[in-house]
A and B are shown apart, each in its own frame.
Chain A
Amino acid sequence: MSTEEKPATAPRSLAEALRGRDDASLAALLRSRPDLVTPVPTDLTQLATRAGTRASVVRALERLDRFALQTAQALAVAADPATYEELLGLLAGDDGDPAVAAALPHALGTLREQALVWGGDDRLRLVRTARELLSPSPQHPSPTGLGPSVREATAGMSPGRIQEIVATAGLPSTHDSVSAVASLGALFTDRTRMAALLDQAPHESVEVLDRLVWGPPYGQVTADPAARLRWLLDRGLLLPTAPGTVVLPREVALHLRGGRAHRVPEPVPPPVEAATTHRPQVVDATAAGQAYAALTTVEDLLKDWDEGGPAVLRAGGLSVRDLKRTAVALDVPEPVAAFWVELAYAAGLLASDGEADERYAATPAYDEWRERPAAERWTRLATAWLAATRTSGLVGGRDAKDRPLSALGPGLDRSVAPEVRHRVLALLAGLSEGAAPVPGSVLARLRWERPLRGARGGVAGVAAGEGGRGPGGSPAERGPGAGHSPAAEGAGGSPAGGPAGDGDGDDLRSRLARWTLDEAEMLGITGRGALSAHGRALLGAPAPRRPEAEPEGPGDKLPVHHRPAPPPVPLSPAEQATAAAAAARLLAPLLPEPLDHVLLQADLTAVAPGPLQRPLADVLGVLADVESKGGATVYRFTPGSVRRALDAGRTAADLHAFLAAHSRTPVPQPLAYLIDDVARRHGHLRVGAASAYVRCDDDAVLGEILADKRAAGLGLRRLAPTVLAAQADPAGLLEGLRAMGFAPAAESAEGDVLITRADARRTPPRSAPEPVPDGPPVPDDTLLAAAVRAVRAGDLAATAPRRPTAGDRAGNDGLPRTGAAETLATLQAAVLTGEALWIGYVNAEGAASQRVIAPVRVEGGFVTAYDHTADGVRTYPLHRITGVAELADDEG
Chain B
Amino acid sequence: MNGPLIVQSDKTLLLEVDHEQADDCRRAIAPFAELERAPEHIHTYRVTPLGLWNARAAGHDAEQVVDALVQYSRYPVPHALLVDIADTMDRYGRLSLLKHPAHGLVLTTTDRPVLEEVLRSKRITPLVGARIDPDTVVVHPSERGQIKQALLKLGWPAEDLAGYVDGEAHPIELREEGWALRPYQKQAVENFWHGGSGVVVLPCGAGKTLVGAGSMAQAKSTTLILVTNTVSARQWKHELVKRTSLTEDEIGEYSGTKKEIRPVTIATYQVLTTRRKGVYPHLELFDSRDWGLILYDEVHLLPAPVFKFTADLQARRRLGLTATLVREDGRESDVFSLIGPKRFDAPWKEIEAQGYIAPADCVEVRVNLTDSERLAYATAETEEKYRFCATTATKRKVTEALVRRFAGQQILVIGQYIDQLDELGEHLDAPVIKGETSNAQREKLFDAFREGEINVLVVSKVANFSIDLPEATVAIQVSGTFGSRQEEAQRLGRVLRPKADGHQAHFYSVVARDTVDQDFAAHRQRFLAEQGYAYRIVDADEVLAEG
Instruction: Point out residues on A near B: beta carbons under 8 Å.
Output: 282, 285-290, 293, 331, 521, 527-529, 592, 599, 601-605, 607, 609-610, 628-632, 634, 665, 668-670, 673, 681
Say if the beta carbon of B41 comes within 8 Å of chain A. Answer: yes
Q: Which of B12, B14, B530, B535 has the most chain A CB atoms inside 10 A of its CB? A: B14
**A629 contacts across to B, CB distance below 8 A:** 8-10
Mark each residue of chain B from 28 to 41: 1 if its CB lies under 8 Å from any CB of chain A, else 0. Answer: 00000000010111
Can you report 8 A-B residue pairs in the complex whose CB atoms are below 8 A from each other? A601-B41, A602-B39, A603-B529, A630-B8, A630-B10, A630-B12, A634-B12, A669-B537
Say if the beta carbon of B391 comes within 8 Å of chain A. Answer: no
Say if the beta carbon of B303 comes within 8 Å of chain A. Answer: no
| C-alpha gap A333/B140 in the complex (Å) | 39
Chain B residue at minimum C-beta to C-beta distance from A518? B80
Chain B residue at minimum C-beta to C-beta distance from A297? B9
Q: Which of B7, B42, B526 has the most chain A CB atoms inside 10 A of its CB? A: B42
| Distance to closest chain B CB from A590 (angstroms) | 9
Known pairs A285-B1, A599-B42; A527 contacts B76 (CB<8 A): yes
Q: Which of B9, B37, B70, B536 has the most chain A CB atoms inside 10 A of its CB? A: B9
Contact A670 B535 (CB under 8 A): yes
| C-alpha gap A289/B8 in the complex (Å) | 12
**B517 contacts across to A, CB distance below 8 A:** none
**B39 contacts across to A, CB distance below 8 A:** 601-603, 605
Say if the beta carbon of B151 comes within 8 Å of chain A. Answer: no
| C-alpha gap A610/B536 in the complex (Å) | 29
**A592 contacts across to B, CB distance below 8 A:** 75
Contact B529 A670 (CB under 8 A): yes
| C-alpha gap A609/B2 in the complex (Å) | 11
Contact B76 A288 (CB under 8 A): yes
| C-alpha gap A669/B534 in the complex (Å) | 9
Number of contact residues on B: which range applies?
20 to 34
Contact B75 A610 (CB under 8 A): yes
Say if the beta carbon of B460 comes within 8 Å of chain A. Answer: no
| C-alpha gap A528/B70 in the complex (Å) | 12
Contact with A609, one of B14, B77, B529 (Cβ below 8 angstroms): B14
Contact B530 A631 (CB under 8 A): no
Contact A670 B534 (CB under 8 A): yes
Contact B6 A632 (CB under 8 A): yes
**A607 contacts across to B, CB distance below 8 A:** 14, 41-42
Give B501-547 interface residues, CB cut-off 8 Å to A: 514, 525-526, 529-530, 534-537
Give B1-55 interface residues, CB cut-off 8 Å to A: 1, 6-10, 12, 14, 16, 37, 39-42, 44
Chain B residue at minimum C-beta to C-beta distance from A292? B75
Contact B42 A286 (CB under 8 A): no
**A634 contacts across to B, CB distance below 8 A:** 8, 12, 14, 44
Contact A528 B8 (CB under 8 A): no
**B529 contacts across to A, CB distance below 8 A:** 601-604, 670
| C-alpha gap A529/B82 in the complex (Å) | 12
Say if the beta carbon of B74 comes within 8 Å of chain A. Answer: yes
**B514 contacts across to A, CB distance below 8 A:** 681
| C-alpha gap A450/B364 in the complex (Å) | 73
Q: Which 10 A-B pairs have the closest CB atoms?
A: A630-B8, A289-B76, A603-B529, A602-B534, A631-B75, A286-B76, A601-B39, A630-B9, A632-B6, A673-B537
| Distance to closest chain A CB from B483 (angstroms) | 15
**A331 contacts across to B, CB distance below 8 A:** 9-10
Contact with A527, one of B6, B79, B525 (Cβ below 8 angstroms): B79
**B42 contacts across to A, CB distance below 8 A:** 599, 601, 605, 607, 609
Chain B residue at minimum C-beta to C-beta distance from A611? B75
Chain B residue at minimum C-beta to C-beta distance from A285? B76
Contact B10 A609 (CB under 8 A): no
| C-alpha gap A599/B14 in the complex (Å) | 12
Contact B536 A670 (CB under 8 A): yes
Chain A residue at minimum C-beta to C-beta distance from B514? A681
Say if the beta carbon of B73 comes within 8 Å of chain A. Answer: yes
| Distance to closest chain A CB from B76 (angstroms) | 3
| Distance to closest chain A CB from B482 (angstroms) | 18
**B163 contacts across to A, CB distance below 8 A:** none
Known pairs A602-B534, A602-B535; A630 contacts B7 (CB<8 A): yes
Say if the beta carbon of B78 comes within 8 Å of chain A. Answer: yes
Contact A603 B76 (CB under 8 A): no
Contact B77 A286 (CB under 8 A): yes
| C-alpha gap A289/B75 in the complex (Å) | 7
The binding surface of chain A is classed by DSSP as mixed
| C-alpha gap A293/B44 in the complex (Å) | 21
Contact A632 B14 (CB under 8 A): yes
| Distance to closest chain B CB from A869 (angstroms) | 82
Contact with A603, one of B6, B74, B530 (Cβ below 8 angstroms): B530
**A670 contacts across to B, CB distance below 8 A:** 525, 529, 534-537
Contact A529 B6 (CB under 8 A): no
| C-alpha gap A609/B42 in the complex (Å) | 9
| Distance to closest chain A CB from B374 (angstroms) | 13
**B78 contacts across to A, CB distance below 8 A:** 286, 289-290, 293, 630
Chain B residue at minimum C-beta to C-beta distance from A522? B80
| C-alpha gap A159/B14 in the complex (Å) | 90
| C-alpha gap A630/B44 in the complex (Å) | 13
Contact B8 A628 (CB under 8 A): yes
Mark each residue of chain B from 45 to 89: 1 if its CB lies under 8 Å from any CB of chain A, else 0. Answer: 000000000000000000000000010011111111000000000
**B534 contacts across to A, CB distance below 8 A:** 602, 668-670
| C-alpha gap A599/B1 in the complex (Å) | 20
| Distance to closest chain A CB from B212 (angstroms) | 31
Known pairs A599-B41, A603-B530; A609 contacts B9 (CB<8 A): no
| Distance to closest chain B CB from A546 (angstroms) | 28
Give B101-148 interface residues, CB cut-off 8 Å to A: none
| C-alpha gap A629/B9 in the complex (Å) | 6
Chain A residue at minimum C-beta to C-beta distance from B79? A528
| C-alpha gap A668/B534 in the complex (Å) | 8
| C-alpha gap A293/B37 in the complex (Å) | 25
Contact A628 B12 (CB under 8 A): yes
- Give me 4 other A-B pairs in contact (C-beta within 8 A), A609-B14, A609-B42, A634-B12 excluded: A285-B1, A599-B16, A601-B529, A609-B6
| C-alpha gap A84/B42 in the complex (Å) | 74
**A609 contacts across to B, CB distance below 8 A:** 6, 14, 16, 42, 74
| C-alpha gap A629/B78 in the complex (Å) | 12
**A628 contacts across to B, CB distance below 8 A:** 8-10, 12
| Distance to closest chain B CB from A865 (angstroms) | 77
Chain A residue at minimum C-beta to C-beta distance from B518? A677
**A287 contacts across to B, CB distance below 8 A:** 76
Known pairs A607-B41, A631-B6; A286 contacts B79 (CB<8 A): yes
| Distance to closest chain B CB from A479 (angstroms) | 32
| Distance to closest chain A CB from B269 (angstroms) | 32
| C-alpha gap A527/B77 in the complex (Å) | 10
| Distance to closest chain A CB from B78 (angstroms) | 6
**B74 contacts across to A, CB distance below 8 A:** 609-610, 631
| Distance to closest chain B CB from A574 (angstroms) | 32
Contact with B41, one of A282, A289, A665, A669 (Cβ below 8 angstroms): A665
Contact with A529, one of B9, B16, B79 (Cβ below 8 angstroms): B79
**B6 contacts across to A, CB distance below 8 A:** 609-610, 630-632
**A528 contacts across to B, CB distance below 8 A:** 79
Chain B residue at minimum C-beta to C-beta distance from A601? B39
| C-alpha gap A634/B12 in the complex (Å) | 10
Contact B41 A631 (CB under 8 A): no
| C-alpha gap A286/B37 in the complex (Å) | 27
Known pairs A289-B75, A602-B534, A668-B534; A632 contacts B8 (CB<8 A): yes
**A668 contacts across to B, CB distance below 8 A:** 534
Chain B residue at minimum C-beta to C-beta distance from A592? B75
**A610 contacts across to B, CB distance below 8 A:** 6, 74-75
Contact B526 A604 (CB under 8 A): yes
Contact B8 A631 (CB under 8 A): yes
Chain B residue at minimum C-beta to C-beta distance from A521? B79
| Distance to closest chain B CB from A23 (angstroms) | 50
Q: Which of A282, A603, A665 has the most chain B CB atoms inside 10 A of its CB? A: A603
| C-alpha gap A670/B6 in the complex (Å) | 26
**B526 contacts across to A, CB distance below 8 A:** 603-604
